[in-house]
C-alpha cells in the first residue's frame, strides 16, 4: 500500500499540533488563585504560640541581602520541599498559602490545594497568591530579584551552597521556627531530633575512618553518585563511612566509571534510584559486578531518595536507615 | 542510430513546455536545435532521455521505445553533454572520463581493460589524453569541455545530445568543439542533436536546423531554409536580414540593430536619451 | 605532520599513470587500516584507571575468546577486562565505525559536505523514543533487557520514515527536500524532548545524560544488538562505492550515465539510517564523528568512495575508541562526557589537518 503525499503531510501536521497542544496544556496548571481561605480570617490550625517571638527578625539570605520579618507570616509560599516538611513539622502549616509541586510529605503537603512550580517559577502566579513570605531554595531565572522588585519578602537559602550538612538543617528548623512564630514547637522538634542524632553519633563513635565500610551511593542507572561535597555525602561523613566517590573531584554529583566502582570494591551499596527500575536483583545481575563485596555479601539496600536529599526533619530517619545498612550490628 | 520523436508533449507540473514535437535525426547527422530562451529546448532534450517523463508522444531509437528501456540501457545508447557539467573536486580527468563507462558496467562491477581502452580512445579523439593525470579543478574551461565530451564519447553512444556545448567557450574552442562533434558524427555514425545559440555556428556546423518557439517546432530543415527573416521573427520576435556568405553561400543572420534600439527606446519611454 | 607530506608524495606518484581503482590496489591500504584499528582496540583494552598488566589483560581475553587458560588472574581483573572494558571498547569501535561510515554515505548521497548521520531526524527521533521511556514508569536499568535501546531505535526509524515520506514527490525524492524535511522532523523531535524534559523535571538529568551519549553502560548485549545493523550496512553500502562516485555529479548527469538515482539513494539511506539508529540506540547521541571523520579521510586519501567508505569505518572506530579511553581514564574515578572529549580533541586536530591541506593547495603552482 503506498502512502500518498497527503497522508504524510497530515501525519506531520498532527504530530506538530500534538506537540504544541501538549506544550500549551503543560504550562498553565499553577495559575489558579488560592481557594483556601480569606487571608484576613484568623487561622485556626497551627496558630502562633502564646509566647511572643522577638520580632522583627533579621535573616541573612544566600545572596548576602538581609530579610526583615516584622511579624509572623500568614501566607507563606514554599518553593522548597525541605522547608515545607519543616513547616509541617513545627506546626506552621496553617500559615502556608502554597507549596511547590515536588512536595509529597507529609500527606497534607501532598494534597495541598495550591501548588506552584519551583523548577520553572511563574512569578505572576506566585505574586497573585499575595504571599507575605516566599521560601526559595534555588534561585532560578533570577526569581529572587524579581520577587524583590515586587516587594515580596523572600527567604532565600540556597540548597546547593548553604544547606549542605545535617547541622545546616537544624539551623533551618530553628530559623523557620523563629520566623513563623513557632519557636516552642521548633525547639521541641530540635530536641527530639537532637537526641536521635546523638544516639546515632554514639553508635558510630570510635569507628576508625580508615577502615570503616566503603559505601557506593547510586543516584541513577548510569552510575551517578553523591560525593563528600554533597548533602548525602555529609550523612555518610556523620556515619564515619567511606564514600568511594571521595571528594568527587570537586563535583558533588559526579559520574563514576564501572571500572572504578568494581576496583573500589564497596562493602555496601545504597540505591537511591529505585524509581528508575533499579532493584537489588538488577544490581546483582550486572555483568562484572558479581565479585563486589557488597554484592557477594548481599549488602545492597534501597532507600527513599527524598529522605536522603531533602533538607528536612526526615534526614535523621535517613541517618538511622543508612546507619542500619552500614553497621547492622550497631543499629538494632 | 536514428532518433525519431513523434508527438512529444512534456512539461513540469501542469505547465506544458514541449508541445507535440515531431523530429528526426539520422545516424551521422548533426541537427541543431535553436530557439529563444525558455522555448523548451533543454526540456526537449531531457524528455528525450526521459529524465522528464513525456505526457504524450513517443521517442524511438531505431524503432525501439526509449520510454520502455531501463535507465542503464538508455545510457548505453544516449550520451548527454550538459550545459555546465559539474565536475567533482579532487578527481583526475582520467577518472572523470572513466565514469562514462558506468552504463556498460554491472552495478557492483569494476572497470576493466576494455573500459580503459575506451577512455583512451575517447580522450585521444578529443585531444585531452595529455590531461589525464591532472585534477579537473585545475583545467581551463576549454579543457574541461573536452574532458566532458570525452566522457560522453566513452559511453559509446549512438545518440549524442549536447545542451549549449559552446556557451562558456571562446571563439577558438567553440569552433574546435563543434567541428570535432561534426567529425565524430560522420566517422562513427552517431546521431547528434545539439542546442546552439549562435546561429552562425549553427549554420556552419549543422546538417539541419530545428527551430523551436513556445514549445513547438516551427521549422526543421537545412539552414538556408530555416534561417529566414520570417521564421526568425516568428521564433525570436526580432527583425533580421539574412545574407549569403560571399565565400560559402551559407546564410548569415544579421539583426537589424537600429530597429532593435528603436524598439528599446519605445519600450523604455522617453526617459532614455540617445546620443547620436 | 610529516605523515601527511608522505601521503601526498605517494599520491603524486600515483598521479603519474592513472588507472581504475581495483580491489587489489585498495587491499594494502585496507589491510593497514584494519591492522591499525585492531591494534588500537587491543591497546585500549589494556588501559584503564585500574592498573592491570597487559599480560593479564591478554590472558583474560585469550581465556574467554580462545578457551586458552594462561595462568590465573584475579576475579576482579577478569570482571573488569571481560565484562567492563572489552564490551565498552568494542562498542565504541562499532559505534565509531558506524557513525563515520554512515556519515560518509550520507555525504555521498546528499553531495553535501555538511551532511551527517543525524540529518534525517535519526537523532531527534531516537531522543524522543528514549525520553518517552525515561519519563515513563518503565524500568530503564543498565541491565540486560532495558527498553531504552528498542525505544530509541523505534523513534529513530519513525522520524526517518516521516522525513523521507514528506520529501517524496511521486517516485523521486529531491535531495534538497530530503534535507529540509529532515531538519523539520528534527526540530519537532527536539522541541518534544525539551518539553518532556521540563514537564518531568525530576528526569531532566537522566534525559540529558542519555542525549549526551556515553559508553559507560556498555555491555555485550548492546554489542550484540548493534552489530547486525552495522555489519549489514557495511555489506550493503560498500559495493556501491563506485556508484556513489558517479552520484557526485549532478543528479541529472548521474541519471544520464545510467544510474538509478532514486533506487541507489533509497537503499543506501535505509541501510545507513538503520545502522545509525542502532548506534544511537546503544550509545546516545555522539556528535562530531559522523561529520568530521569522513572529511578527514577525504582530505588524506582523496574523494573516491571506494576508499573513503572502508577507511572512514576504520578511522571512526579508532577515533572513538581513543576518545572513550580518555573519557573513562582521564580521571581516576570519574567519567568525562564523551561528547566533550570528542569536540575538545577532535576539533583542533581536524582544524590542523584542514590548515595543512589549505597550505598545500596554495603552494601548488
- pLDDT cut 90: percent of chain C above it: 48
CA distance C121 to C128: 11
Average pLDDT value for residue range B118-145: 89
The verdict on a CB contact (< 8 Å) between A19 and C49 is no
Q: Kindly tell me if the per-residue pLDDT of C360 is higher than 60.
A: no
Name which residue leads in pLDDT, A41 or B29: B29
C210 to chain A: nearest residue by CA?
A222
Query: In chain A, which residues have their Cβ closer than 8 Å to the Cβ of C198?
Result: 26, 119-120
Give the Å distances, CA to CA, from A131 to A34, A78, A124: 10, 10, 12
Q: Cβ of C26 under 8 Å from any chain B Cβ?
A: no
Q: DSSP string spanning A225-247?
A: B--TTSHHHHHHHHTTPEETTTT
Name which residue leads in pLDDT, C256 or C349: C256
The verdict on a CB contact (< 8 Å) between C334 and A251 is yes
What values do phi and psi take at C333, rounded to 5? -120, -30
Name which residue leads in pLDDT, A191 or C114: A191
Domain residue ranges in chain A: 57-186, 207-326
C-alpha cell at A125: 502566579
pLDDT of residue C286: 92
Structural contact between residues B48 and B65, judged by C-beta atoms closer than 8 angstroms: no
Structural contact between residues B61 and B26, judged by C-beta atoms closer than 8 angstroms: no
The verdict on a CB contact (< 8 Å) between C298 and B116 is no
Contact call for A and C: 3+ CB–CB distances under 8 Å = yes
Give the Å distances, CA to CA, from C349 to C6, C342, C343, C352: 18, 10, 10, 5
What angle, 0 to 180 degrees and rounded to 10, lies between the N-to-C axes of helices C86-110 and C289-301?
Answer: 70
Average pLDDT value for residue range B181-203: 91
- List of residues 6+ apart from C56 with CB closer than 8 A: C73, C77, C81
pLDDT of residue A89: 93
Which of C49, C79, C142 comes nearest A257 by C-beta?
C49
Contact call for B and A: 3+ CB–CB distances under 8 Å = no
User: Using one digit for the tens of pLDDT, what is the confidence trace for C26-73?
Assistant: 999 999 999 999 999 999 999 998 888 888 888 888 888 887 776 677
pLDDT of residue A31: 37
Instruction: Give which of A126, A75, A80 is closest to A103, Cα–Cα.
Output: A80
- pLDDT cut 70: percent of chain C above it: 91
Query: In chain B, which residues have their Cβ closer than 8 Å to the Cβ of C23?
Result: 110
pLDDT of residue C283: 92
User: Using one digit for the tens of pLDDT, what is the confidence trace for B232-242?
Assistant: 988 888 888 88
Name which residue leads in pLDDT, C339 or B116: B116
Q: Kindly tell me if the per-residue pLDDT of C85 is higher than 90.
A: yes
pLDDT of residue C2: 56
What is the helix (H) or strand (E) element at residue C151, kind and residue range? helix C148-167
Radius of gyration of chain B (CA): 20
User: Using one digit for the tens of pLDDT, what is the confidence trace for B84-102?
Assistant: 777 777 889 999 999 999 9
Which of B75, B88, B110 comes nearest C249 by C-beta?
B88
pLDDT of residue B222: 93
The verdict on a CB contact (< 8 Å) between C246 and B79 is no
What residues of chain B, 50 to 69, have a C-beta less than 8 Å from chain C? 51
Give the Å distances, CA to CA, from A68 to A59, A71, A119, A154: 6, 9, 26, 9
Which of A249, A263, A288 comes nearest C331 by C-beta?
A249
Instruction: Decide the pairing of beta strands B216-221 and B208-213.
Output: antiparallel
Q: What is the pTM of this model?
A: 0.84
Average pLDDT value for residue range C226-238: 95
**A9-23, A241-255, C46-60: least confident range:** A9-23
pLDDT of residue A27: 41
- List of residues 6+ apart from B258 with CB closer than 8 A: none
Q: Cβ of C27 under 8 Å from any chain B Cβ?
A: no
What is the pLDDT confidence band of residue A45, given thresholds at 50, 70 and 90?
very low
Radius of gyration of chain C (CA): 21
User: Using one digit for the tens of pLDDT, what is the confidence trace for A46-77?
Assistant: 334 445 557 888 888 988 889 888 889 999 99
C208 to chain A: nearest residue by CA?
A222
CA distance C105 to C248: 12
What is the pLDDT confidence band of residue C19, given thresholds at 50, 70 and 90?
confident
Mean pLDDT, all residues of chain C:
87
The verdict on a CB contact (< 8 Å) between C298 and B90 is yes
Q: Kindly tell me if the per-residue pLDDT of B259 is higher than 70.
A: no
Whole-complex ipTM: 0.86
Which of C21, C255, C303 comes nearest B88 by C-beta?
C303
What is the pLDDT confidence band of residue B12, given thresholds at 50, 70 and 90?
confident
What values do phi and psi take at A133, rounded to 5? -160, 130
C-alpha cell at A105: 510529605
Q: Kindly tell me if the per-residue pLDDT of A28 is higher than 60.
A: no
What is the pLDDT confidence band of residue A32, given thresholds at 50, 70 and 90?
very low
Average pLDDT value for residue range C244-262: 90
Q: Cβ of A271 under 8 Å from any chain C Cβ?
A: no
pLDDT of residue C143: 52
C-alpha cell at C185: 522532523
pLDDT of residue A220: 86
Q: Kindly tell me if the per-residue pLDDT of C140 is higher than 70.
A: no
pLDDT of residue A213: 94
User: Using one digit for the tens of pLDDT, what is the confidence trace for A87-124?
Assistant: 999 999 899 999 988 888 888 888 888 888 887 788 88
What residues of chain A, 69 to 108, have a C-beta less than 8 Å from chain C? 102
What angle, 0 to 180 degrees and rounded to 10, lies between the N-to-C axes of helices C54-66 and C23-46?
Answer: 120
Instruction: Give which of B75, B166, B165 is closest to C254, Cα–Cα.
Output: B75
Q: Which of C334, C336, C338, C341 to mutate to test the interface with A (most CBs of A within 10 A)?
A: C334
Which domains does chain C possess? 2-12+46-363 (1.10.3470.10)
Q: Kindly tell me if the per-residue pLDDT of B30 is higher than 50.
A: yes
What residues of chain B, 120 to 179, have a C-beta less than 8 Å from chain C? 132-133, 155
Average pLDDT value for residue range C94-104: 97
Instruction: Give which of A266, A201, A199, A213 is closest to A239, Cα–Cα.
Output: A201
Record: fold of A57-186 = Rossmann fold (3.40.50)
Give the count of Cβ contacts less than 8 A between chain A and C. 140
DSSP letter for A105, please: S
- pLDDT cut 90: percent of chain B above it: 39
- Is the bond into A56 cis (omega within 30 degrees of 0)? yes
Contact call for C and B: 3+ CB–CB distances under 8 Å = yes
Query: In chain C, which residues have their Cβ closer than 8 Å to the Cβ of A26?
Result: 195, 198-199
Q: Cβ of C17 under 8 Å from any chain B Cβ?
A: yes
Q: Which of B50, B53, B88, B106 to mutate to test the interface with C (most CBs of C within 10 A)?
A: B88
Pick the CATH number of A207-326 from 3.40.140.10, 3.20.20.70, 3.40.50.1980, 3.40.190.170: 3.40.50.1980
Query: In chain C, which residues have their Cβ closer than 8 Å to the Cβ of A19?
Result: 188, 191-192, 195
What is the pLDDT confidence band of residue C199, given thresholds at 50, 70 and 90?
confident
DSSP letter for C21, please: -
C171 to chain B: nearest residue by CA?
B53
Amino acid at each position: 500500500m503506498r502512502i500518498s503525499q497527503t497522508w504524510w503531510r497530515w501525519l506531520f501536521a498532527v504530530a506538530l499540533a500534538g506537540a504544541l497542544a501538549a506544550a500549551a496544556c503543560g504550562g498553565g496548571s499553577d495559575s489558579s488563585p488560592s481557594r483556601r481561605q480569606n487571608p484576613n480570617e484568623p487561622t485556626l490550625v497551627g496558630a502562633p504560640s502564646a509566647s511572643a517571638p522577638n520580632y522583627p527578625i533579621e535573616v541573612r539570605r544566600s545572596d548576602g541581602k538581609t530579610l526583615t520579618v516584622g511579624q509572623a507570616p500568614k501566607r507563606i509560599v514554599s518553593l522548597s520541599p525541605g522547608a515545607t516538611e519543616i513547616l509541617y513539622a513545627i506546626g506552621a502549616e496553617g500559615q502556608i498559602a502554597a507549596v511547590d509541586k515536588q512536595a509529597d510529605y507529609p500527606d497534607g503537603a501532598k494534597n495541598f490545594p495550591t501548588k506552584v512550580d519551583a523548577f520553572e517559577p511563574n512569578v505572576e502566579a506566585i505574586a497573585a497568591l499575595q504571599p507575605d513570605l516566599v521560601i526559595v531554595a534555588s534561585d532560578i531565572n533570577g526569581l529572587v530579584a524579581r520577587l524583590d522588585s515586587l516587594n515580596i519578602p523572600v527567604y532565600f537559602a540556597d540548597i546547593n551552597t548553604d544547606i549542605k550538612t545535617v547541622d545546616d538543617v537544624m539551623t533551618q528548623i530553628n530559623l523557620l521556627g523563629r520566623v513563623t512564630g513557632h519557636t516552642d514547637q521548633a525547639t521541641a522538634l530540635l530536641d527530639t531530633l537532637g537526641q536521635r542524632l546523638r544516639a546515632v553519633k554514639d553508635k558510630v563513635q570510635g569507628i576508625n575512618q580508615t577502615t570503616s565500610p566503603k559505601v557506593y551511593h547510586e543516584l541513577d542507572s548510569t552510575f551517578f553518585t553523591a560525593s563528600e561535597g554533597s548533602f548525602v555525602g555529609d550523612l555518610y561523613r556523620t556515619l564515619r563511612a567511606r564514600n568511594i566517590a571521595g571528594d568527587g573531584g570537586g563535583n558533588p554529583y559526579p559520574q563514576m566509571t564501572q571500572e572504578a566502582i568494581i576496583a573500589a570494591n564497596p562493602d555496601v551499596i545504597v540505591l537511591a534510584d529505585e524509581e528508575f527500575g533499579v532493584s537489588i536483583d538488577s544490581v546483582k545481575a550486572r555483568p562484572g559486578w558479581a565479585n563486589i563485596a557488597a554484592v557477594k555479601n548481599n549488602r545492597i539496600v534501597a532507600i527513599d531518595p527524598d529522605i536522603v536529599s531533602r533538607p528536612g526533619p526526615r534526614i535523621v530517619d535517613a541517618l538511622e536507615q543508612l546507619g542500619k545498612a552500614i553497621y547492622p550490628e550497631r543499629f538494632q | 542510430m536514428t532518433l525519431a520523436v513523434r508527438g512529444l508533449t512534456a512539461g513540469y507540473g501542469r505547465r506544458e513546455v514541449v508541445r507535440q514535437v515531431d523530429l528526426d535525426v539520422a545516424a551521422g547527422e548533426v541537427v541543431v536545435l535553436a530557439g529563444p530562451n525558455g522555448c523548451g529546448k533543454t526540456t526537449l532534450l531531457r524528455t528525450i532521455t526521459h529524465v522528464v517523463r513525456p505526457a504524450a508522444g513517443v521517442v524511438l531509437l531505431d524503432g525501439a521505445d526509449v520510454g520502455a528501456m531501463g535507465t542503464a540501457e538508455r545510457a548505453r545508447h544516449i550520451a548527454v553533454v550538459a550545459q555546465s557539467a559539474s565536475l567533482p573536486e579532487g578527481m583526475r580527468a582520467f577518472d572523470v572520463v572513466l565514469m562514462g563507462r558506468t552504463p556498460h558496467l554491472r552495478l557492483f562491477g569494476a572497470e576493466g581493460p576494455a573500459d580503459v581502452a575506451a577512455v583512451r580512445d575517447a580522450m585521444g579523439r578529443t585531444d585531452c589524453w595529455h590531461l589525464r593525470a591532472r585534477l579537473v579543478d585545475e583545467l581551463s574551461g576549454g579543457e574541461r569541455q573536452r574532458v566532458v565530451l570525452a566522457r560522453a564519447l566513452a559511453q559509446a553512444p549512438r545518440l549524442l545530445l549536447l545542451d549549449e556545448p559552446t556557451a562558456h567557450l571562446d571563439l577558438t574552442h567553440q569552433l574546435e568543439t563543434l567541428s570535432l562533434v561534426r567529425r565524430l558524427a560522420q566517422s562513427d555514425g552517431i546521431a547528434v542533436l545539439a542546442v546552439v545559440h549562435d546561429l552562425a555556428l549553427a549554420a556552419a556546423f549543422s546538417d539541419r536546423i530545428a527551430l523551436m518557439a513556445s514549445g513547438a517546432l516551427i521549422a526543421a530543415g537545412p539552414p538556408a531554409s530555416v534561417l529566414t527573416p520570417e521564421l526568425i521573427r516568428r521564433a525570436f520576435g526580432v527583425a533580421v536580414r539574412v545574407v549569403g556568405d560571399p565565400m560559402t553561400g551559407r546564410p548569415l543572420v544579421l539583426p537589424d540593430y537600429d530597429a532593435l534600439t528603436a524598439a528599446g527606446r519605445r519600450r523604455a519611454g522617453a526617459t532614455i536619451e540617445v546620443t547620436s | 605532520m610529516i605523515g601527511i607530506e608522505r601521503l601526498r608524495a605517494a599520491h603524486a606518484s600515483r598521479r603519474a599513470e592513472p588507472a581504475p581503482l581495483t580491489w587489489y590496489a585498495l587491499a594494502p591500504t585496507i589491510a593497514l587500516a584494519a591492522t591499525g584499528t585492531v591494534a588500537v582496540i587491543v591497546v585500549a583494552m589494556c588501559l584503564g584507571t585500574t592498573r592491570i598488566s597487559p599480560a593479564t589483560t591478554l590472558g583474560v581475553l585469550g581465556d574467554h575468546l580462545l578457551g586458552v587458560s594462561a595462568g590465573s588472574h584475579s576475579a576482579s581483573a577478569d570482571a573488569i577486562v571481560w565484562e567492563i572494558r572489552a564490551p565498552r571498547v568494542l562498542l565504541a569501535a562499532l559505534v565509531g565505525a558506524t557513525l563515520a561510515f554512515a556519515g560518509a554515505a550520507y555525504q555521498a548521497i546528499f553531495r553535501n559536505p555538511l551532511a551527517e548521520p543525524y540529518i534525517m531526524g535519526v537523532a531527534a527521533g531516537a531522543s524522543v523514543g528514549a525520553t518517552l521511556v525515561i519519563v515513563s514508569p518503565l524500568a530503564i536499568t543498565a541491565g540486560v533487557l532495558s527498553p531504552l535501546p528498542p525505544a530509541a531505535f523505534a523513534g529513530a526509524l519513525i522520524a526517518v520514515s516521516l522525513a523521507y515520506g514528506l520529501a517524496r514527490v511521486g517516485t523521486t525524492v529531491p535531495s534538497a527536500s530530503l534535507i529540509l524535511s529532515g531538519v523539520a522532523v528534527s526540530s519537532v523531535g527536539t522541541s518534544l524532548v525539551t518539553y518532556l524534559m521540563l514537564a518531568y523535571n525530576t528526569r531532566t538529568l537522566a534525559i540529558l545524560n542519555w542525549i549526551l551519549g556515553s559508553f559507560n553502560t556498555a555491555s555485550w548485549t548492546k554489542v550484540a544488538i548493534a552489530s547486525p545493523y552495522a555489519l549489514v550496512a557495511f555489506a550493503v553500502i560498500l559495493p556501491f562505492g563506485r556508484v556513489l562516485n558517479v552520484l557526485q555529479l549532478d543528479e541529472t548527469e548521474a541519471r544520464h550515465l545510467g544510474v538509478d538515482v532514486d533506487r541507489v539513494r533509497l537503499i543506501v539511506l535505509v541501510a545507513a539510517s538503520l545502522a545509525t539508529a542502532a548506534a544511537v540506540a546503544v550509545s546516545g547521541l555522539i556528535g562530531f564523528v559522523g561529520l568530521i571523520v569522513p572529511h578527514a579521510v577525504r582530505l588524506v586519501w582523496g574523494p573516491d568512495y571506494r576508499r573513503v567508505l572502508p577507511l572512514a569505518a576504520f578511522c571512526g572506530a579508532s577515533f572513538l575508541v581513543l576518545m572513550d579511553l580518555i573519557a573513562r581514564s582521564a580521571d581516576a574515578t570519574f567519567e568525562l562526557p564523551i561528547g566533550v572529549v570528542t569536540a575538545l580533541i577532535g576539533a583542533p586536530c581536524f582544524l590542523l589537518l584542514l590548515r595543512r591541506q589549505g597550505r598545500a593547495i596554495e603552494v601548488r603552482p
